[in-house]
């Protein structure tokens, strides 16, 4: 149907009007930076470039009085049997939701701070199922915890944190509404991703195509309306849609579908992190019913080439890293735009006052991801280390390391402060280099530029006490970095270039300087044994107990086709499963590990332990306790009896981290 209506663009654009779009859903507290980078770059080259964030647009549309009414109508029409705790509560308290929603949104946008008193009283907002955790315990987010152990709000905010207390309550209130949308309207909906499973590691386009062929439900209808509004406002003839994650891809295609149905001559281009990792071997003509072009890796050079083509100044076979319907993949070799020449990002045109500061976790470090507006910048393109064996070190976004001079970075910071009025910065590097951070800190101090900043680093030894203090003095409030599996054997195998003791010393230096530390943690790496998992958790427990780290996140190792493990599995003791015949996405790949450990049995215990550690709970408990229910479940299951014979005692001395710090 769509294919019949899709007309060809013409490569005779005299005037190029560009609109860059962030498709739903990304994050609610601040714009995803991709369109800001692109728009800044394109404007620096003299183009008419605008941007729109349909992710925050969609969230606010659903969370408007009109949206709430539409949600209520659909929930009311549900058969009794299909109601859940969330939808029942919503129906019973609809009037209360209707009167409180707009004030609560304005409060979360920072426009109505006085409402904090009423919200914090807990007599103002309706409190649905999400509030169960507040009433009784610090929990693991899945209803398991330690009843009566501590009052969560008092622990986190004490008597004075009124605004934060109210923000947390209002966040739970919104999460109740998100549950209602998911359970009654669209099971694919979340505030930070939408229909993710349709795009993540999908070897064919079939599921996505089938979903795009269904009539629009409420969420899609709002997305359709927002797309039409953006087209009408900006009148673009070239639309760039960036899909950083699988959770934006369905949204990206729905937006492109609306554009092509409305005006097929508008040129649509897809780019972003999802394409860079998952679509490197795509061979799917149906994609071009929605997008005229797909570009890979850093977008600046491919877009300049594409615009020249559209202006009839460059033939199709001289495009750069671009999929086209006609020639399929074209990659005329031209150097990328240097990082120092990629322009200053701009947030012009984005509704900066509309973003919602959410406080979902009662952890001071973890809140940085959802709370507050951050100007996003990178210190460098790529990673200076580029060795970790689980990482996409062969792809451009990691492998092409390109650092700009400190002055360029300072100019960008000053420009963003002037434009947005905001002095909070998030450096979204893969791993910001210590030398560049030192130089940046000195420059910030010399110029008396007062900003707060946080970013991603490697826990390498050059971050000693002096450097950490310098960074703190320059405005650094937090760092995030990979500890992965806290095991020296596995850190060596993954070529992480750090040891557990080194991480302890470095993180302690940051913490002593007053900088919060978040550790990315991993489980299920090739050859990881049950003992490794228990010992790694013991290290993590000790790091929390010693005040080295304040926050963390465990994710399950996945093998990607671009990583050294995926390219040389034999060096890591694993065998790859035969890959599916992929014509669309191709990234994650299944593997067999000779250890035969069922890591699924440990994921929940690891996450539960970490959740409690982040709230200061359970730090004196034997780490085996977190796994006990899962080990017991395994023992009850005959099939699993041999795979999970019980959880071994840790082999790590209980004071190892303290001793190494001393
Ligand atoms: S995991 Fe981080 S430090 Fe390691 S290569 Fe990748 S980006 Fe660099």
Q: Separation of 391 CA from ligand 1 center, angstroms?
A: 6
Query: Is 413 near ligand 1, meaning CB less than 6 Å away?
Result: no
Counting ligand 1 atoms within 8 A of each CB, the residue from 273, 277, 388 with the most, and so the one to mutate, is: 388
Contact 586, 561 (CB under 8 A): yes
pLDDT higher than 60, residue 297? yes
pLDDT for res 642 = 35
Q: What average pLDDT does the segment 343-351 reach?
A: 96
381 lines ligand 1 (CB under 6 A): no
Residue 646: the pLDDT is 74
Q: How far is the C-alpha of 27 from the C-alpha of 202, rounded, in Å?
A: 23
From ligand 1's centre to the CA of 256, what distance in Å? 33
Q: In the predicted model, is pLDDT for residue 358 greater than 60? A: yes
What digits encode the pLDDT tens for the residues 577-596?
998 899 999 999 999 999 99
Band of residue 327 on the pLDDT scale cut at 50, 70, 90? confident
Q: How far is the CA of 28 from the centre of ligand 1 (A)?
A: 27
- Could you tell me if the CB of 208 is within 6 A of ligand 1? no
Which of 277, 387, 399, 430 to mutate for ligand 1's pocket (most ligand atoms within 8 Å of CB)? 430
* pLDDT score recorded for residue 176: 97
Pick from 386, 463, 485, 555 the residue to mutate for probing ligand 1's pocket: most ligand atoms within 8 Å of its CB.
386
* pLDDT band with cut points at 50, 70 and 90 for residue 4: very low
Count of Cβ atoms closer than 10 Å to residue 549 Cβ: 26
The best mutation among 273, 379, 381, 387 to test binding of ligand 1, ranked by most ligand atoms within 8 Å of the C-beta, falls on 387
433 to 427, 474, 510: CA distances (angstroms): 11, 16, 15
Q: Which residue shows structure tokens 């070799």?
A: 333
* Contact (CB, 8 A) for 572 and 595: no
Helix boundaries (H) for 263-405 = 273-278, 300-310, 396-399
- What atom of ligand 1 comes closest to residue 385's alpha carbon? 8
pLDDT of 8: 58
Question: pLDDT: is 364 or 530 the higher one?
Answer: 530
> Does pLDDT of 290 surpass 80?
yes
Determine the distance from the C-alpha atom of residue 5 to the mean position of all C-alpha atoms in its chain, rounded to a whole number. Answer: 35
What is the atom index within ligand 1 of the atom nearest the CA of 456?
Answer: 2
Q: Indicate the top mutation candidate among 378, 379, 389, 398 to test ligand 1's pocket, ranked by most ligand atoms within 8 A of CB.
A: 398
Confidence at residue 1, expressed as pLDDT on a 0 to 100 scale: 39
DSSP 534: H
Find, among 261, 249, 240, the residue nearest to 209 by Cα.
Answer: 249
The reply to whether ligand 1 has any atom less than 6 angstroms from the CB of 129 is no
User: At 324, which helix (H) or strand (E)?
Assistant: strand 322-324
Find, among 25, 24, 29, the residue nearest to 359 by Cα: 29
pLDDT at residue number 157: 61
463 lines ligand 1 (CB under 6 A): no
CA dihedral 341, 451, 108, 355 (to 10 degrees): -10
Whether residue 639 is predicted with pLDDT greater than 50 in this model: the reply is no
- DSSP-assigned letters across all residues of 208-233: HHHHHTSPP-HHHHHHHHHHHHHHHH
What is the token pair recorded at 332? 């005329």
Backbone angles phi, psi at 521, to 5 degrees: -120, 155
How many A from CA of 196 to the centre of ligand 1? 25
pLDDT band at 348 (very low <50, low <70, confident <90, very high): very high
Q: Is the CB of 498 under 6 A from ligand 1?
A: no
Cis link prior to 134 (omega < 30° from 0)?
no
Phi, psi of 320 (to 5 degrees): -115, 125
Give tens-digit pLDDT for 228-271.
999 999 999 999 999 999 999 999 999 999 999 999 999 999 99
pLDDT of residue 143: 38
Nearest CA to 209 out of 199, 196, 200, 217 is that of 199
Burial class (CB in 10 A: 0-12, 13-18, 19+), 347: buried
- Residue 458 CB–ligand 1 contact under 6 Å: yes
As a whole number of angstroms, the distance between CA 358 and CA 86 comes to 20
* Ligand 1 geometric centre to CA of 480 (Å): 12
Using the mean position of ligand 1's atoms as its centre, give its distance from the Cα of residue 508 in Å: 21
Alpha carbon nearest to ligand 1 atom 5, residue: 386
Could you tell me the pLDDT band of residue 152, with boundaries at 50, 70 and 90?
A: low
Model pLDDT, residue 362: 76
Task: Supply the pLDDT for residue 343.
Answer: 93
Ligand 1 lined by 391 (C-beta under 6 Å): yes
Query: What percent of the chain has a predicted confidence (pLDDT) above 70?
Result: 92
Q: How far is the CA of 386 from the centre of ligand 1 (A)?
A: 5
The pLDDT of 348-353, averaged and rounded, is 96
Q: Say if ligand 1 is within 6 A of residue 431 CB.
A: yes
Rounded Cα distance, 657 and 540, in Å: 10
Ligand 1 atom at minimal distance to the Cα of residue 391: 6
Measured CA to CA in angstroms, residue 360 lies from 370, 371, 376, 386, 413 at distances of 7, 9, 21, 33, 29
Q: What is the CA(549)–ligand 1 centre distance, in A?
A: 19
Which atom of ligand 1 is nearest to 393's Cα? 5
At 310, phi and psi to the nearest 5?
-65, -25
CB of 385 closer than 6 angstroms to any ligand 1 atom:
yes
pLDDT for residue 361 is more than 90: no
- Atom 4, ligand 1: which residue's CA is nearest? 388
- Reported as a single tens digit per residue, the pLDDT across 130-144 is 998 776 443 343 334
Q: Is the pLDDT of residue 459 over 50?
A: yes
pLDDT-based confidence at 645, cuts 50/70/90? low
| Ligand 1 atom closest to residue 383's alpha carbon, by position in its atom list | 8
636: pLDDT strictly greater than 90: no
């Amino acid at each position: 149907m769509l294919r019949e209506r899709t007309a060809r663009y013409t490569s005779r654009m005299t005037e190029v009007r560009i609109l860059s779009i962030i498709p739903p859903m990304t994050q609610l507290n601040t714009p995803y930076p991709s369109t800001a980078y692109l728009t800044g770059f394109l404007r620096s080259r003299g183009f008419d470039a605008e941007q729109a964030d349909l992710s925050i647009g969609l969230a606010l549309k659903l969370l408007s009085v009109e949206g709430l009414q539409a949600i209520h109508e659909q929930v009311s029409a549900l058969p009794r049997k299909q109601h859940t705790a969330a939808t029942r509560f919503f129906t019973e308290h609809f009037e209360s939701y209707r009167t409180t929603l707009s004030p609560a949104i304005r409060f979360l946008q920072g426009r109505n701070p006085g409402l904090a008193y009423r919200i914090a009283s807990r007599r103002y907002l309706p409190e649905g199922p999400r509030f169960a955790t507040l009433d009784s315990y610090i929990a693991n987010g899945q209803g398991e915890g330690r009843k009566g152990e501590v009052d969560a709000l008092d622990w986190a905010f004490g008597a004075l944190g009124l605004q934060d207390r109210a923000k947390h309550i209002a966040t739970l209130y919104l999460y109740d509404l998100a549950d209602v949308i998911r359970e009654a309207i669209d099971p694919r909906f979340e505030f930070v991703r939408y229909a993710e499973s349709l795009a993540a590691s999908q070897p064919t386009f079939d599921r996505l195509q089938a979903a795009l062929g269904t009539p629009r439900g409420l969420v899609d209808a709002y997305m359709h309306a927002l797309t039409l509004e953006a087209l009408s406002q900006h009148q673009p003839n070239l639309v760039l849609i960036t899909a950083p994650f699988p959770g934006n891809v369905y949204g990206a295609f729905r937006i492109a579908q609306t554009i092509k149905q409305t005006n097929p001559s508008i040129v649509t281009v897809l780019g972003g992190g999802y394409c860079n990792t998952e679509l490197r071997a795509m061979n799917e003509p149906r994609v071009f019913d929605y997008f005229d072009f797909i570009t890979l890796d850093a977008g600046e050079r491919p877009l300049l080439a594409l615009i020249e083509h559209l202006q009839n100044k460059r033939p199709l076979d001289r495009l750069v890293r671009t999929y086209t319907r006609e020639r399929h993949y074209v990659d005329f070799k031209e150097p990328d735009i240097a990082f120092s020449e990629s322009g200053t990002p701009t947030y012009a045109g984005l509704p900066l006052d509309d973003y919602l500061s959410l406080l979902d976790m009662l952890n001071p470090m973890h809140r940085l991801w959802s709370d507050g507006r951050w100007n996003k910048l990178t210190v460098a393109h790529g990673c200076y280390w580029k060795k970790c064996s689980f990482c996409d070190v062969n792809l451009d976004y990691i492998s092409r390391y390109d650092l700009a001079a400190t002055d360029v970075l300072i100019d960008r910071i000053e420009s963003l402060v002037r434009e947005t009025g905001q002095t909070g910065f998030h450096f979204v590097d893969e791993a910001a280099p210590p030398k560049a951070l030192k130089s940046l800190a000195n420059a910030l101090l010399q110029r008396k530029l007062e900003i707060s900043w946080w970013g991603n680093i490697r826990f390498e030894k050059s971050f000693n006490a002096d450097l950490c203090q310098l960074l703190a003095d320059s405005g650094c409030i937090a760092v995030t970095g990979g500890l992965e599996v806290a095991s020296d054997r596995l850190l060596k195998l993954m070529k992480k270039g750090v040891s557990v003791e080194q991480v302890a010393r470095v993180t302690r230096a940051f913490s002593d300087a007053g900088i919060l530390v978040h550790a990315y943690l991993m489980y299920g790496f090739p050859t990881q044994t049950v003992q490794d998992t228990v010992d790694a958790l013991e290290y993590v427990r000790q790091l929390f107990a010693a005040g080295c780290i304040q926050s963390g996140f465990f994710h399950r190792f996945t093998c990607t086709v671009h990583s050294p493990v995926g390219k040389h599995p034999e060096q890591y003791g694993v065998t790859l499963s035969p890959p599916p015949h992929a014509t669309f996405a191709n990234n994650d790949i299944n593997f067999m590990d000779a250890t035969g450990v069922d890591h699924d049995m440990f994921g929940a215990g690891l996450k539960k332990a970490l959740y409690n550690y982040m709230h200061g709970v359970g730090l004196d408990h034997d780490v085996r306790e977190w796994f006990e229910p899962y080990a017991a479940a395994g023992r009850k299951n005959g099939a699993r009896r041999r795979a999970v014979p019980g959880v071994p005692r840790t082999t790590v001395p209980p004071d190892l981290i303290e001793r190494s710090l001393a």
